Amino acid sequence: MKKLFSYHEMYVFLAIVIVALAITAINPSFFTLENLFDMLKSYSLIGTFAIGVLFVLISGGIDISFTAIATITGYITAVLLLQRGDQLNIYIIFLIAGVIGILLGAFNALIIYFFRIPSIITTIATLNIYYGILTVLSQGKWLYGFPEWFGKYTQMYVFTITNANGISYGLSVITVFWFALLLLAWFILRFTVLGRSIYAMGGNIASASRAGFNLLKLHLFVYSFMGLMAGFASVIQALLVQTVAPNSLVGKELDVLAAVVLGGASLTGGTGSVLGAVLGVTLIAILGNGLTLMHVPSYWYKVVIGIVILISVGSSAYRRKISTRRRVIIEVE
């Protein structure tokens, strides 16, 4: 039991339980299967971004350009859908978005690796480059009216349940896709040399380099993977809302970062887990959903998220500080 509480994830889980109970007490419609499936579907977007951000944070970097990358991949796939929609299918769409995402992510990696520019500065710059160029080229136009087959995926469920009012709901294929990505990420981080090297690089980049890890490859992988997830997320966004707007994603990067950080990933690198990221996304999701259900005006949402982040980051930093102090005392004895 004591060991359980040494994990950051445990605290996030407790927070989720408490918040969920509080919301249910005020509005019982929160704790229904229908609402759960609904939330899982709409938060697949942030959840997919979060996987990429998790990798970057574990490696000791940060990326805030991913929403701009997703805006570009989303816009390009949307243009393709509108022009050649009948010759394409969903796999090709994911492939195109993924490849472009990887390329843009790799560009970030190369700058960060070769010129030793801090990742925060690099990605502030590339966020503006990617987003600025796209906005100029697209002239801010919204794209909609995609082919029929593309719209079908929004209403496709693995299984469906019909509620008392005759409206059917179920587990969306979009959610299943997100779960598959989570499993993949978990597998990479947990069971592959690649995954363990990302932790090693994040833990201490100098010793990782001396131990013979290829830092260029690791940088390329981490930021390209972020790009890939951004590409996938842009398709998910297009599926969810059936519209692509140049300004719909940029600005969401803070929500995603908040979710991953809540789940225990720290910017000093080397820590973080897929479970933590999922819990973080869940906490953000139920806070957002719960505030709506409790009829709290939406502009309080950011205040709540800000407070939750500061408490979460503060408490884990404080625990880390205490534990290093304890370690020092033991060494002296």
In the list 33, 92, 136, 184, the residue contacting other proteins (rule: CB under 8 A) is 136
In the list 62, 88, 235, 283, the residue contacting other proteins (rule: CB under 8 A) is 62
* Minimum distance, C-beta of residue 297 to other proteins, in the bound complex (Å): 7
CB nearer other proteins, residue 61 or residue 98: 61
Q: Is 215 in the site for other proteins (CB under 8 A)?
A: no
CB nearer other proteins, residue 32 or residue 324: 324
* Minimum distance, C-beta of residue 302 to other proteins, in the bound complex (Å): 3
In the list 95, 96, 103, 267, the residue contacting other proteins (rule: CB under 8 A) is 267
In the list 121, 156, 161, 216, the residue contacting other proteins (rule: CB under 8 A) is 121
Q: Is 126 in the site for other proteins (CB under 8 A)?
A: yes
CB nearer other proteins, residue 172 or residue 271: 271
Nearest residue to 274 (alpha-carbon basis) of 115, 92, 28, 50:
50
Give the separation between CA 267 and CA 316, rounded to whole angstroms: 12
* Minimum distance, C-beta of residue 104 to other proteins, in the bound complex (Å): 13
Piece of the chain touching other proteins by CB under 8 A; list 95-103, 126-134, 166-174, 286-294: 126-134
Piece of the chain touching other proteins by CB under 8 A; list 10-18, 185-193, 252-260, 284-292: 252-260
In the list 128, 155, 160, 323, the residue contacting other proteins (rule: CB under 8 A) is 128
CB nearer other proteins, residue 85 or residue 252: 252
Q: Which residues between 270 and 329 bind other proteins (CB under 8 A)? A: 297, 299-307, 309-310, 313-314, 317-318, 320-321
Residues at the site binding other proteins, with contacts judged by CB under 8 A: 62, 111, 115-118, 120-122, 124-133, 135-136, 254, 257-258, 261, 266-268, 297, 299-307, 309-310, 313-314, 317-318, 320-321
